[in-house]
Structure 1
Amino acid sequence: MSLKQECIDIINLITEPLKKDEYDLYETETNSIRDICELTGEDVTYGDCFECEYYEHCPYKKHVKVDVSFWDYSDFQRNYVFAKKPSVNKGIHYINNRKQLMDEMSQFKKEIEQYKDYYAEFGEKYSDFMEYAKEFGEKLREEYSFFENMSTDILPIVFHTDFAKDSEGKTNYAKRGNFTSIGKQNMINVYYCMDDVEDTKRNIRHELLHYFLYMSGMKYLDEDAIFHYLCGIYDAHAYKEMGEEEQGLYDKLVFVIPELEKKCKELNCKDGAFNANRDVVLMAVGNDREDFSNKELFDYGMKLLNMTVKEKA
């Protein structure tokens, strides 16, 4: 029996007991062509690399012929080549004798069993996190008029169990999430989501605020005043410093909004008056005048912002 056939037989013996239900799918291909990223070593044959800076013209994606390719229709992939000399340095397991085969199959069995247990727990948390994201999105829709047209039915969130990687494939331990928009495709990534539930929820709030502001046509970057303000309200950890202009707007916001609420209570204003005036101020701070369609509304928001601050002085 060839090493290749023995490899296939052992993989089948290992994976057959793991098929608990119809969703436990595994595929073993032979003599297939795979796309391997030489930066990360990942099999990107069925992957979407649109976040990568080399997305359209990638010099690192290599077409490699492999003898045996295993995939679980998710994240667990293994590619084996029975040869001495590697054609690529990452992403392929090279086997040249039976001892190497047994070592590889032993490692395969250990990792896929750990993977199954881990991802069973991940599946439960994934559902919980997605439900939390929808609940938080609904809270934003109900609280702010400029978010009322947002939909939470389908949120473009991907939860990752591992850390983020930079453009060179190196692990970025500091980045716990990001929001990207390329053309008409938006994506929210939340990284290392299995470590701490509360940290992950904070990251969800942080990235959803980016997304909601962006989709509402407002300022949405980490350095923007409105983003810092909303992160402060919802404990979403705005960590980047603002420029002088945005810092000035933020300083006014954190004073003005409580003052508006206080005055509305003192004057016994109609229901909704505070929210309406607060939202006008936030829309003014969250937009540039030249890009805002209703100049009169923008000017009114800035007037409220500056008038209340003058009273403070």
Structure 2
Amino acid sequence: MSSISRPNLDPDELIVKAEYFLPVEPDDGNLRKIKDEFRAILRQKEYIQVDAGMDMVGPIHQSMTFKPNLDKSDPPLKWRIKDFFGFTSNTEIPSYQREYIFKRIEERVEDLPFEIEIRFRSIENESSGFRTTIIVVPTLLQQYRQRILTTDSDFDVKTTVKYTKREIERIFSKIGATPLQKPYTEAEVLESEINQEHRNALNQLEYGDTALQYLNEGDACLQRGLLNAALNCYILCIEWLIITHLKREGRRDVIEEEKEEGGEYYRELVRELKDDEYVSQKTFEKLDEMNSVERRWMAHHKSGELAETDVRNVRDRLEILIRELFPRSDSPN
């Protein structure tokens, strides 16, 4: 018996995420109002909250999940006749319901959202409010997971992602939120701007391969949602990039010095870039600021205060540093 051939779909190319800021006093009362607004908006789009019971007891839950309202239809006439004469069993009812829901998913337009998860995190500083993350699984991915799709199925990943992004923007425009991270997929973000020429050059430089190793490990952690581990890897990558640069320029061999005098920390290494001919003043200032911001986040890794946008900002700065320290025209000594 031959198996049905399935298409090869990558969830990282289909799941769309975004982050928004809601500028309100971050208390339970306002969070309830915000959640009520989301319920009303998504109810109009025929979604139901599948975890509504979480708010019934205890403190208000910090997330909410919606799925399409796949109402059960009336059973077919044949089934109703059997039921009338008492010929149906209890096992037939859930079986019929499962078949009906499966059919509804199969018939659903693939570029519509299937699962919408919204997470809230309170921010209390000079700009108080809620940092809100939305994660959307499109119907196309759900169809793939339930083995509905075949290689002959007619679908377009790019169109699905484009529509999903547009739908997220529509939802949050009605809420009046400010975008912190516009809708994106993991595949888009992790399509590294560090091209192969940069990678090859670093691999040939002493200590450069260690910097790339931390970069790759950070990307892998970020892709799995391990934010604190990703942040740690990215900052270690920055340190090793500076170490590689200092060695290439013949200024210092930090690793050899460590064997006799002990190691240096992030701040001391960044200070080596002050007035460096390769590094812009803006990049130096941003890296120097990270000592008091990102490093503090790492110290509080158990508190859950780290946001994905913050980690991606560190990665962006890391990429800029690579482009400045190791221009593509460079060739290793």
Considering the TM-score relative to the shorter chain, is it more than 0.5?
no
TM-score (norm 1): 0.28
TM-score (norm 2): 0.27
